A and B are shown apart, each in its own frame.
Chain A
Amino acid sequence: MGDVQRIFYFHMGTAWNSFLTFFAVFVAGIAYLITRKSKWDKLGAACAEVGMVFTTIVMVTGSIWAKPIWNTWWAWGDPRLMSVMVLWLMYAAYFILRSSLPEGDKKYKFSAVFGIIAFLDVPIVWMSIRWWRTIHPVVITSSGAELAAEMLHALMVSLIAMTVLCVTLVALRTAQRLNSSLADEVFQQLDQERVSRQ
């Protein structure tokens, strides 16, 4: 493959983290439905956002790698590529749903349920290269990672670095969403106090 093979380290690192963040959306959705605490909604939304950024990177880097290797930017019939595209579209729909509803329990409840359902595509993405005929390479098999030792070390470094970046971005965005929501609540209280005083 030559130099272009090195795209793999970013591709795999971001793919792993997109799965991780979508799993967190799934867990946060369940936690919200059980506890009804809005912090779980903020965490879920932050994870979905970062997951979408990482999935975008996965699709773009995969496409750039595919051009010299497969001689095409995108293989429309490939199950792995199409299931990833469905995943991206589902989380895009998650944000369309969120933006179409006013703040409150209804929005958080619908988002939680949608986040749980959308996660069901993640195992399909993972298994697509094992269940169906595909031109996508299978790197991790039941007998382990089929990589040379040096490549495996580079992959591990990439995975750790990308996970640290991902957790940092999720923490930042969750804090931002929580602060924004808190500011809105305080703002409303101040307005109510002002009206009651008048």
Chain B
Amino acid sequence: MRVPIQIVDWATREPVQAELFDGVTVEHFLETQNEWRPVVVEAAKKMVQSGSPQDIVPRHFHWDWTSKEADLRILAFSFIGISAGGNLQGLMKLENAGRSGRIAWQKGKPLTYVDYLETAPWNIKPLMQALGRSQKFAAVGTRLIEAAVRKSLDEGFKGRLALHSLTTSERFYLDVCGMTAVGRDPAKQNLLWCEFTPEQAERFLKEGAT
């Protein structure tokens, strides 16, 4: 699947062409290792040096996709990427089996679970500010979540979606996407379980969270 989409060039605030694809390969993992990681590490160092509060220093900069490489062949998982300007702008891994809702009235109902999602560091404002640069593209996270909701619809899960948000990302999932904060999960480092009901997912797709 390769779908032309638009994301936003942050300098001009204008939509630009991008591509959403599911043919993620080991080379994409290598690209995140080689192109993304050094930028995140450099920015994180600057943030620490400048005395940024620990809770806003990126906690994911040690992440690599190595452990995900073997998952490429497992059908219950979907990998989706966004590319623009010849570069990878975002990557996501979805699980489409074995997960169910935790909101009281959604309990036991199957959903799509976002196991991993990350955008390129040049699309994250705090990182670019630390490096004295401007962010490049916007709405990459939104497009990935949109694709995740559409995957949930395709799977017959009616748009139900859930994820464990990192602390630094909670604002995006709660305020921007409009997901429900169900609760901290002691089994997952006390991360916040965020969930879309079918109604919230539909609202996100059509109207936005506000």
Q: Do A and B form a real pair?
A: no
Binding site for B on A (CB under 8 A): none
